[in-house]
Protein backbone atom coordinates (compact mmCIF):
# COMPACT_ATOMS: atom_id res chain seq x y z
CA UNK A 1 0.00 0.00 0.00
CA UNK A 2 0.99 3.57 -0.55
CA UNK A 3 0.49 5.97 2.33
CA UNK A 4 -1.01 9.35 1.44
CA UNK A 5 -2.33 12.41 3.19
CA UNK A 6 -5.57 14.29 2.51
CA UNK A 7 -7.14 17.43 3.94
CA UNK A 8 -10.74 17.40 5.17
CA UNK A 9 -12.90 19.97 6.86
CA UNK A 10 -13.77 19.25 10.47
CA UNK A 11 -17.30 18.39 9.39
CA UNK A 12 -16.11 15.97 6.66
CA UNK A 13 -13.71 14.29 9.07
CA UNK A 14 -16.35 13.91 11.79
CA UNK A 15 -18.93 12.54 9.33
CA UNK A 16 -16.41 10.10 7.84
CA UNK A 17 -15.34 8.88 11.30
CA UNK A 18 -18.99 8.35 12.29
CA UNK A 19 -19.71 6.38 9.11
CA UNK A 20 -16.58 4.26 9.52
CA UNK A 21 -17.57 3.50 13.12
CA UNK A 22 -21.10 2.65 12.04
CA UNK A 23 -19.71 0.19 9.49
CA UNK A 24 -17.13 -1.15 11.93
CA UNK A 25 -14.20 -0.27 9.68
CA UNK A 26 -11.27 2.13 9.81
CA UNK A 27 -11.37 5.57 8.26
CA UNK A 28 -8.73 4.40 5.76
CA UNK A 29 -10.95 1.48 4.69
CA UNK A 30 -13.92 3.83 4.31
CA UNK A 31 -11.86 6.05 1.99
CA UNK A 32 -10.64 3.01 -0.03
CA UNK A 33 -14.19 1.70 -0.42
CA UNK A 34 -15.44 5.14 -1.40
CA UNK A 35 -12.76 5.48 -4.06
CA UNK A 36 -13.56 2.03 -5.46
CA UNK A 37 -17.14 3.15 -6.11
CA UNK A 38 -16.08 6.06 -8.33
CA UNK A 39 -12.88 4.85 -10.02
CA UNK A 40 -13.13 3.06 -13.37
CA UNK A 41 -12.96 -0.72 -13.20
CA UNK A 42 -9.95 -2.50 -14.72
CA UNK A 43 -11.45 -3.92 -17.94
CA UNK A 44 -9.08 -6.89 -17.86
CA UNK A 45 -10.64 -8.04 -14.56
CA UNK A 46 -14.41 -7.47 -14.84
CA UNK A 47 -15.10 -9.64 -11.78
CA UNK A 48 -13.24 -7.10 -9.63
CA UNK A 49 -16.29 -4.81 -9.87
CA UNK A 50 -17.92 -7.10 -7.29
CA UNK A 51 -14.94 -7.74 -5.02
CA UNK A 52 -15.60 -6.68 -1.46
CA UNK A 53 -19.29 -5.81 -1.84
CA UNK A 54 -20.75 -8.85 -0.10
CA UNK A 55 -21.25 -8.03 3.55
CA UNK A 56 -22.92 -10.58 5.80
CA UNK A 57 -21.98 -9.36 9.24
CA UNK A 58 -20.59 -12.86 9.85
CA UNK A 59 -16.84 -12.68 10.61
CA UNK A 60 -16.52 -16.33 9.49
CA UNK A 61 -18.21 -15.77 6.12
CA UNK A 62 -14.96 -16.31 4.22
CA UNK A 63 -14.97 -19.89 5.49
CA UNK A 64 -18.32 -20.61 3.84
CA UNK A 65 -18.26 -18.25 0.87
CA UNK A 66 -20.36 -20.57 -1.32
CA UNK A 67 -23.22 -20.27 1.19
CA UNK A 68 -22.83 -16.49 1.15
CA UNK A 69 -22.79 -16.20 -2.65
CA UNK A 70 -25.19 -18.99 -3.66
CA UNK A 71 -27.30 -19.41 -0.51
CA UNK A 72 -27.49 -22.24 1.96
CA UNK A 73 -28.73 -25.60 0.81
CA UNK A 74 -31.40 -26.84 3.18
The domain ranges of the chain are 10-70
pTM comes to: 0.56
Q: Is the pLDDT of residue 74 over 70?
A: no
Contact 17, 30 (CB under 8 A): no
- Which backbone phi and psi does 16 adopt, to 5 degrees? -65, -40
Q: State how far the Cα of 16 lies from the Cα of 11, in Å rounded to an integer.
A: 8
What is residue 11's predicted lDDT score, i.e. its pLDDT? 98
Question: What whole-number percentage of the chain has pLDDT above 90?
Answer: 43
Question: What whole-number percentage of the chain has pLDDT above 70?
Answer: 62
By C-alpha distance, which of 60, 57, 58, 2 is closest to 28? 2
Contact 48, 41 (CB under 8 A): yes
What's the chain's average pLDDT? 81
Region 21-36: what's the mean pLDDT?
93
Amino acid sequence: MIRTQISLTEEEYAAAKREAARLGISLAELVRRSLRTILPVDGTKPWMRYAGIVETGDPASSQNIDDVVYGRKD
